[in-house]
Amino acid sequence: MNLGFVDGLYISALGLAGVFLVLTLFYVTIRTLQKIGAKEKEE
Amino acid sequence: MDLSGILGNLFSGVSYLFTAEGLKTLVMFVIAGTLIYLAIKKDYEPALLLPIGFGAILANLPPVLETMMPSALGTAAEPGFLTVLFEAGIRNELFPVLIFIAVGAMIDFSPLMKDPSMIFFGAAAQFGIFATFLLSIVLLPFVLPAHQAADSNLVFRLASAIGIIGAADGPTTLYVANHFDLREFMAPISVAAYSYMSLVPVIQPPVIKALTTREERMIRMEYHESRAPKVALILFPIIVTLVAGIIVPMSAPLIGSLMFGNLIRECGVLERLSKTAQNELANLVTILLGISIGSTMVAQNFLRWDTALIMLLGLFAFVFDTAGGVLFAKFLNIFRKNKVNPMIGAAGISAFPMSARVIQKMAKDEDPYNFILMQATSANVAGQLGSVVAGGLIITLVSMLIK
């Protein structure tokens, strides 16, 4: 398959969006863990 | 054999230095000497640059007459010790994974747990990877030999590895380059990745200064010292491994080893292993990794136009990763009530903890009482995660296309 600049553009856009998506999931993970930690402290 | 023939063979190394190939060898000695000089005199990441420089000397010593290969490299039939190390540790991605276990054991995610919004700088600072990937696709065909330039699969694979250099993440760069079987280009890619990593204090400050005002660099950020709950620190590496491993399976070896090292550190029952990972394991693998990388710097693979372009594109990637982080922080400041010091964004690269230290030093230079090390460290550890995820994604996406 002959790949061109447009294919590269797709990869770049999807790649950067993917990094943001996965790190957003990590962010949600930390927020959830913060809540668990806070609950543990209260108890 | 007459006496002159015996002497000629005995001192073949000396006569070799006066041939065209020998001249290239001398150039490589100068490059290796520069790396060693930077390591010893300038203290730029000496643990890496010194072994790389010395490995380059060993790999470029005049060849043994019968084999026409330097004895440290050996031949295919009888590999020398550097080839054995390369095959055992880099070719099969073992050293990058072991280094990540050590790095994971060194990372404290507490600051990130306290201010998780810093994690987005670890994503924004990967911008340079993808910008460089695109630029490489355009420029590589101009410098590669015709048969390689016509192979768009090779161009895409090589562009991926060059882009990752920008993350300032040596192990991930090696991982991507290895995955795409870029052995021929391993020398410039790995040397660019590791030398730019060590040049963080030189490369980042001018880029940051060009993109920020003095007032912005003086922005103070609040931080309350306290350790994150233990349960959160234990669960974090496990959940991150699961999330990254499920969404980006190609990142699993690196993120898994990074998080494994971190779990050893945080679990509280493996202190001995944690210390071993942080010290003995890190030191041992660094020595072997450095000298193995240096062994790839053989003159005929290194002194080429594509090497110059790869080094240049690597620098471009590094600069644009830094710029991406800073500009993202400035963008966020438009909406945020509590402004972020935009220099924090530059710490979203993977060079841990050097980048965070550079940012703190720059903040201190502008305002001696400004303490943003913790926020910079948060962005820096986020950059570790971001670069591994970016590496996994670029492998996945490019592999899907070139199938």
In this predicted complex, what is the ipTM? 0.92
Rounded CA separation B312/B203 (Å): 13
> Is B10 within the bounds of a domain?
no
B390 and A19: CB-CB below 8 Å? yes
Mutate which: A19, A25, A27, A34, vs B, most B CBs within 10 A: A19
What DSSP character marks residue B224?
A: -
> Is B177 within the bounds of a domain?
yes
> Is B252 within the bounds of a domain?
yes
> Is B70 within the bounds of a domain?
no
Looking at the partner chain, which of A3, A29, A36 has a beta carbon nearest the beta carbon of B243? A29
Q: In a structure prediction context, what are the per-residue pLDDT tens digits for chain B, which is 403 residues long?
A: 677 777 777 777 777 788 888 899 999 999 999 999 988 998 877 888 899 999 999 999 888 766 677 778 887 778 889 999 998 998 888 999 999 999 999 999 988 998 899 999 999 999 999 999 999 999 999 988 888 888 889 999 999 999 998 887 888 998 999 899 888 888 888 888 888 887 888 899 999 999 999 999 999 988 777 677 888 899 999 999 999 999 999 999 999 999 999 999 999 999 999 999 999 999 999 999 999 989 888 888 888 888 899 999 989 998 999 999 999 999 999 998 888 999 999 999 888 888 999 999 999 999 999 999 999 999 999 999 999 999 999 999 999 988 7
| Domain range for B212 | 94-402
Cβ–Cβ < 8 Å for B387, B163: no
Tokens of B333: 């400041």
Cβ–Cβ < 8 Å for B191, B52: yes
A18 and B389: CB-CB below 8 Å? yes
User: For residue B253, how many other CB atoms are within 10 A of its CB?
Assistant: 18
B243 and A19: CB-CB below 8 Å? no
- Tell me which residue has tokens 């990877």: B129
Quick one: angle between helices B373-402 and A5-42, nearest 10? 140
Tell whether A17 is within 8 A of chain B (Cβ): no
User: For residue B122, how many other CB atoms are within 10 A of its CB?
Assistant: 33
- Tell me which residue has tokens 């071993």: B276
- Tell me which residue has tokens 């003159």: B299
Looking at the partner chain, which of B152, B240, B247 has a beta carbon nearest the beta carbon of A3? B152
Tell whether A42 is within 8 A of chain B (Cβ): no
Tell me the Ramachandran region of residue B311: left when phi exceeds 0, alpha when psi lies from -120 to 50, beta otherwise. Answer: alpha
A30 and B122: CB-CB below 8 Å? no
> Is B12 within the bounds of a domain?
no
Cβ–Cβ < 8 Å for B349, B321: yes
The count of domains in chain B is 1
Rounded CA separation B362/B274 (Å): 32
